[in-house]
Chains A and B, each alone.
Chain A
């Protein structure tokens, strides 16, 4: 009886919290749509791109699995103060990213982050990647065995290194969900059917993919 009495208020609190989160997500969706975000980002999965032309017609990254891909604290901060993630303009090989992504007010950033975090993919397995302070196997694959660093900037002892054509991975530890990185390596075509990055399925073992995801998750 005593246990029941303490569980009951906790349950009410849980129901209230999840209702509030839903309300914020609904407000966020309204803000997302009224701000015109959908003119560059689609939010309905699954992915439909079939050709290079389909991919090049997109103006910005798809967001239909944003809640599985991003970490919420980073997302809310970024929406209010967006800094370029890609050194090059989206879908461009040669044109540098000019920045200038739309900025949301502090009032809007939270609810829009809630909305985007509600967009999830069931291909992402929670807790699949164990992140430690270091993952030397993943590091070796990332910088030596595979060409990851050829296209992605990453932090080094000096400052940073790496190529420019892919999204920067500086700060990826705060930005990306490690379980999504693994899911993307395992099933790239679910998320991005046509993309400039090679498919590593059948090239890297599942263990290697976990190590790479865990290593990327250490990037500050």
Chain B
């Protein structure tokens, strides 16, 4: 009985750890599938679409100082509605009809890993 109780306690205690790891993995997988085509596999803004014809420079997510200037809400809004919502290029598509809320949150979390920053609050 006490062994069962301990196991249950362990599962409850480790649950968030496993969930967190799964979310981080999802963010990376989502980034590689949807975002890397323009932002590059390492998030440096150099995906295969960025040829001489590409009219803008996709954001480099590893530039910590630049990424510190924007909030999680800013990132979320641009993912959902595309570049024009932040006066940026329509080359950044609106992904709001493609991704779920949980997937968008996972991506925001992954971008924060790439920039190693938290961004401005509010």
Interface residues of A (CB under 8 A from B): 52-53, 55-56, 87-88, 93-94, 144-147, 149-151, 161-165, 196, 198-203
Contact = CB atoms under 8 A, between A and B. Distances in A.
Interface stretch (B16-24, B85-93, B108-116): B85-93
A56 B93 CA distance: 22
Contact of A198 (B41, B53, B94): B94
B91 A94 contact: no
Nearest to B83: A147
A165 B49 contact: yes
A151 B98 contact: no
Contacts of A163: 37-38, 48-51, 53-54
Given A147-B82, A150-B38, A198-B97, 4 more contacts: A88-B48, A161-B53, A164-B51, A199-B98
Contacts of B98: 198-199
Contacts of B47: 93, 165
Interface of B: 29-30, 32-34, 36-38, 41, 47-51, 53-54, 82, 90-95, 97-98
27 contacts: A52-B29, A55-B33, A87-B48, A88-B48, A94-B36, A144-B90, A145-B90, A147-B90, A147-B91, A149-B53, A150-B38, A150-B49, A150-B54, A151-B37, A151-B38, A163-B37, A163-B48, A163-B50, A163-B51, A163-B54, A165-B38, A165-B48, A196-B33, A198-B93, A198-B98, A199-B98, A200-B97
Given A150-B54, A163-B54, A164-B51, A93 B36 contact: yes
A117 B117 CA distance: 53
Contacts of B41: 93-94
Where chain B touches its partner, the secondary structure class is loop
Contacts of B38: 150-151, 163, 165
B90 A202 contact: no
A55 B29 CA distance: 12
Nearest to A141: B90
A200 B98 CA distance: 8
Contact of A150 (B30, B32, B91, B95): B91
A165 B40 CA distance: 11
A93 B29 contact: no
A6 B105 CA distance: 69
Contacts of B93: 146-147, 150, 198
